[in-house]
Amino acid sequence: MNEGKPSITSLISAFGRTYHSQFDTLKIFDDFIAKDLISQKEFRDIKENLVKGIQFFNKEVAEKLKGDPEEILKWVTHVQLSPTPLARAAYCEKVLQNEIRLGVEQYVILGAGLDTFCFRYPEFENSLEIFEVDYAATQHFKRTRLKEINFDIPKNLHFVTMDFTKYFSNQDLSHEGFANKRTFFSFLGVSYYLTKEELSGLMDHLFSIVPEGSSIVFDYADERLFEEKGVSNRVENMVKMAAAGGEPMKSCYSYAEIEHLLEKSGLLIYEHLSPTQIDNLYFDKRNDDLSAFETIHYLHAVKK
């Protein structure tokens, strides 16, 4: 990753949120600020690459929609790109809002990318400390972009530079004002890229520095990850794209495995959503191609 360049994942995620906010009728997660963090050129470049990639995603759809780039983009975005990022963000922030009502004082976003929570909820500036944890290059890019669009960084937003997939530093968090207070962690779109040992170790670290009642929302892939093809081969495509991009997916879990892993770190599963439950909650009665990704589950776990 080059200095000043964000991860491509963070840009594509911002693209998906922007597209959904601007062009989809029924909103699963309305990130109305994402459009400010991605330039028109970046939006056009990602759009062009997704449209050009239709042959990889689905040759039949490529033939059917040939010559109609807007419909191709809509199909790729709805089927392959956006379902999981939109639904997991909606679930995570629903849980977070409830946790705030129950007394959470700190919110740690692991792999924050171009997250916009603090800008969409300025009313929490005096009651919730927000720590965005990510690579130095991604955070440099975000700070620069915020300056370009004249967004002031609120006093409760703290940037913590860390590759937490390699190491986790309590000191780096503490340096930015993190304290032993009731904390909510979000950990979205990352668990599949860690080994089971790495995920277990990270959970141990996270919950050794916070009191009882602290909790985490994360998503994980079940044991069918490397077998399931999914609608229009989208699960298989996801696994292939990750490998081709140099970040192969490493882990998938049965419910019993994930339960045991969390229990070892002193956590109890408070809520678990299967793909079917996610589909019913966030994609019911839609008239487009958005639907819950096969094999991906959401969890809310709480420190005992």
Alpha carbon 234 to its chain centroid, in Å, reads 18
* H helix or E strand, kind and range, residue 134: strand 129-134
Average pLDDT over residues 217-238: 97
Domains and CATH numbers, the chain: 8-81 (no CATH), 94-303 (3.40.50.150)
Spatial strand order in the sheet of 106-110:
157-161, 129-134, 106-110, 183-187, 215-221, 296-303, 267-273
Q: Which two tokens mark 7?
A: 């991860």
Lowest mean pLDDT, pick from 2-11, 65-74, 160-169: 2-11
Average pLDDT over residues 204-212: 96
Q: pLDDT exceeding 90 applies to what percent of the chain?
A: 94
Distance (Å, rounded) from C-alpha 278 to C-alpha 23?
22
Sign of the alpha-carbon dihedral angle for 190, 195, 196, 201:
negative
Average pLDDT over residues 268-294: 97
Q: What is the pLDDT of residue 2?
A: 47
| 210 burial via Cβ count (<10 Å: 0-12, 13-18, 19+) | buried
Nearest Cα residue to 56 out of 79, 84, 85:
79
Whether 262 contacts 54, CB under 8 Å: no
Residue partners of 43: CB distance under 8 A and separation at least 6: 15, 18
Q: What is the pLDDT of residue 245?
A: 84
Q: Which two tokens mark 212?
A: 């009882």
Q: What is the pLDDT of residue 1?
A: 44
What DSSP designation does 24 have?
A: -
Nearest Cα residue to 286 out of 128, 79, 125:
79
Structure confidence by residue, pLDDT tens digits, 88-117: 999 999 999 999 999 999 999 999 999 999
Nearest Cα residue to 65 out of 43, 50, 44:
50
Is the pLDDT at 290 greater than 80? The verdict is: yes
Q: What is the mean pLDDT of the chain?
A: 95
223 falls in which pLDDT band (50, 70, 90)?
Answer: very high
5 falls in which pLDDT band (50, 70, 90)?
Answer: low
Is the pLDDT at 163 greater than 50? The verdict is: yes
Q: Which two tokens mark 284?
A: 């019911």
Distance (Å, rounded) from C-alpha 122 to C-alpha 98?
17
Enter the pTM of the model. Answer: 0.95
Instruction: Phi first, then psi: give them for residue 302, nearest 5 degrees.
Output: -125, 140
Structure confidence by residue, pLDDT tens digits, 10-62: 999 999 999 999 999 999 999 999 999 999 999 999 999 999 999 999 999 99
* H helix or E strand, kind and range, residue 148: helix 136-148
Whether 227 contacts 262, CB under 8 Å: no
